[in-house]
Amino acid sequence: MHSWTDTLRFAFQPVVNLTTGGVAGLEILARPEAGDILAEARRDPELDGKLAVLAVRTAVRRESLLPLHVNVFAGTLADLGGLTPLHDAVRQAGRLPWEVTVDINPPYTHVPQQALLEAVGGLREQGFRISADGVGDGDVPLRLLLDIAPDLVKLDASLPERPAAVRAMRALCDESGALLCVEGVETERQCAAALSAGAQLAQGELFAPPSRLPVADVYVPPRSPGLVEAPRSGPTVREFVRPAALLPATASAGQVRALLTGSPDVSGVLLVDRDGAPVRSVHRSRFLLSMSGRYGHALYADRPAAKLGDPPRTVGVDATAWEVLDVVAVGDRDRTSDDVAVVDRYGRCVGVVRLADLVRALAESRVEEAAGLNPLTRLPGSDAITGEVDRRIAGGRTFALSWLDVDHFKRVNDGAGFAAGDELIRSVGRVLQHTASDSIRVGHIGGDDFLVLTEPEGLEPLAASVLDVPWSAGGRPVTLSLATVVCVPGSVTDHREAAACLAPLKQAAKALDGASWVLGRAGRPGHEVRRGSGAATVRAG
């Protein structure tokens, strides 16, 4: 009698890190040769749970060291209250639960939400990572998505064609600490769109098709320089995490040697305790050099590998690239090429970062940032500000966008000379640069025009710093004008609309005598005069 497992095969599709170009994990896909077992699994939670267990066992037989993604329907989790057999299968295979991501698949309609959340909580307690699959194309309610708080959100490939939606999801992921992945990427154009919209991971035929054997080599299109982001605090570690080669802390040197010689791409091995916390770090070159000596194998093969390791260098998953460099800079210079272990809030190893990846990304971000700086003030141009405006709009944040310029600047240049005019612009730029922070962004968009993006509560200090001090050029007194538009969630759709709201406010400020400040609100008529003649009055728009 034939079993349904006789015609069932599994395929592996890489999950690609768009920053490093490496494989971040393998999704295991059921591929029945006959019938529609996935449709049956959607209706039968017990069958779906068995498929998850078989997927893990198949991956182990293929001897893949990469993290795994296992698909489970939302209804299965709610009905079974968790996946104890999956946990047992992972442990029996010698893998750790946090090396496995459970991809929760739709439909969510009619799934008891409380039961689903309790099941997800149980998986997390066991150590599994959680992914919300089919977002955008599925039926997951936004509130339920927030309650699940996944480690990874997977979007359909059609969404990068709607960049505002992807940017909004990226902002949501950043707030919750999740990564963003786009599935079904088939063309380089789709890949570029996904990357520019904020995706950090991707899957699809472009990189590698599903195959019977796990693959570690994938095709990733070269990144366009225009797609490099340069956040003020530096890229985060989450963007650079590579899979870690893990062995128990009790592993012998012979076991480590077998892993390294069988996996030439592995740069080192982390020895972890029963809870998955790194206890020793074994560097590939130093370890193999010790083992290859005249008596190395005889001396060390049966001894604990920990004796040939070093204390691990670790950072949290929320660390920035600069913080990783600080960790690398401390200690033995011979260890600068060692992988740095990335640990979650429980101290469990979730991957490693390599120094080369960080240096490359930081160099790219600095080159891109430098290219956009105004040569006179060394402040970013308009692109940096407008990009941040779009991110705040996507994140549903209230913000204030201000335009600052010098009154009658052409007269200043004609009367005092262009050198005095340039020095005035540099002086204004220095004052604005002094106010800049993670929440206050300053840009010099050319000539005497500056843009300032801040929270509404930061407006008074900003105005005081530029309007309540005397300015001069070549001994001639000079005044400045400030126009501000406050944008609440839903009042503008992108930076272009915010700029359009700001334009008439600038005209109103320039019409006032002396140092002036006009404030308006997007979507509302009229404006308030905060400085200049007619201060504290509201004029019709």
pLDDT at 536 over 50: no
Q: Give the length of the chain.
A: 541
Model confidence pLDDT, tens digit, residues 22-60: 888 899 998 887 668 888 899 999 999 999 999 998 888
If we measure between CA atoms, which residue out of 288, 327, 323 comes closest to residue 305? 288
Q: How far apart are CA 133 and CA 102, in angstroms?
A: 9
The least confident of 95-99, 127-131, 163-167, 309-313 is 163-167
Q: Are the beta carbons of 136 and 165 closer than 8 angstroms?
A: yes
Model confidence pLDDT, tens digit, residues 253-291: 888 888 888 788 888 999 999 888 999 999 988 888 887
The conformational region for residue 134 under phi > 0 = left, psi -120 to 50 = alpha, else beta, is left
More confident residue, 95 or 45: 45
Kindly state the average pLDDT of the residues 135-164. 85
Single-letter residue type at 489 = P
Q: Which residues contact 532 (CB under 8 A, 6 or more apart)?
A: 481, 509, 512, 513, 514, 515, 516, 517, 518
Percent of the chain with pLDDT over 90: 32
Model confidence pLDDT, tens digit, residues 400-459: 999 999 998 888 888 888 888 889 988 998 888 887 665 688 888 888 889 999 999 989
pLDDT at 538 over 60: no
pLDDT of residue 371: 47
Kindly state the average pLDDT of the residues 10-25. 88
pLDDT at 229 over 50: no
Q: Using pLDDT thresholds of 50, 70 and 90, give the confidence band for residue 77.
A: very high
Q: How far apart are CA 172 and CA 170, in angstroms?
A: 5
Across all residues in the chain, what is the average pLDDT? 84
pLDDT at 120 over 90: yes
Task: For residue 247, list its beta bridge partners.
Answer: 271
Kindly state the average pLDDT of the residues 60-69. 80
Kindly state the average pLDDT of the residues 492-501. 91
* Token duo for residue 398: 């209230």
The least confident of 201-205, 219-223, 436-440, 520-524 is 436-440
* Token duo for residue 258: 């077998």
Q: Using pLDDT thresholds of 50, 70 and 90, give the confidence band for residue 227.
A: very low
pLDDT at 166 over 50: yes
Model confidence pLDDT, tens digit, residues 346-394: 888 888 988 878 777 666 555 444 445 666 777 877 777 888 888 888 8
If we measure between CA atoms, which residue out of 82, 157, 172 comes closest to residue 396? 172
Give me the DSSP letters along 302-339. Answer: TSBGGGG-BPPPEEETT-BHHHHHHHHHSS-GGGTTS-
More confident residue, 161 or 191: 191
Quote the pTM value.
0.61
- Structure-derived torsion over alpha carbons of residues 228, 229, 234, 237, reported in degrees to the nearest 10: -70
Q: How far apart are CA 538 and CA 505, in angstroms?
A: 12
pLDDT at 517 over 90: yes
pLDDT at 399 over 60: yes
Kindly state the average pLDDT of the residues 496-516. 92
What is the SS3 assignment for 248?
A: strand
Model confidence pLDDT, tens digit, residues 300-318: 667 888 888 899 999 888 7
Q: Using pLDDT thresholds of 50, 70 and 90, give the confidence band for residue 153.
A: very high
If we measure between CA atoms, which residue out of 326, 290, 325 comes closest to residue 309? 290
Query: Parallel, antiparallel, or unpaired for β 449-454 and 399-406?
Result: antiparallel
pLDDT at 14 over 50: yes
pLDDT of residue 214: 76
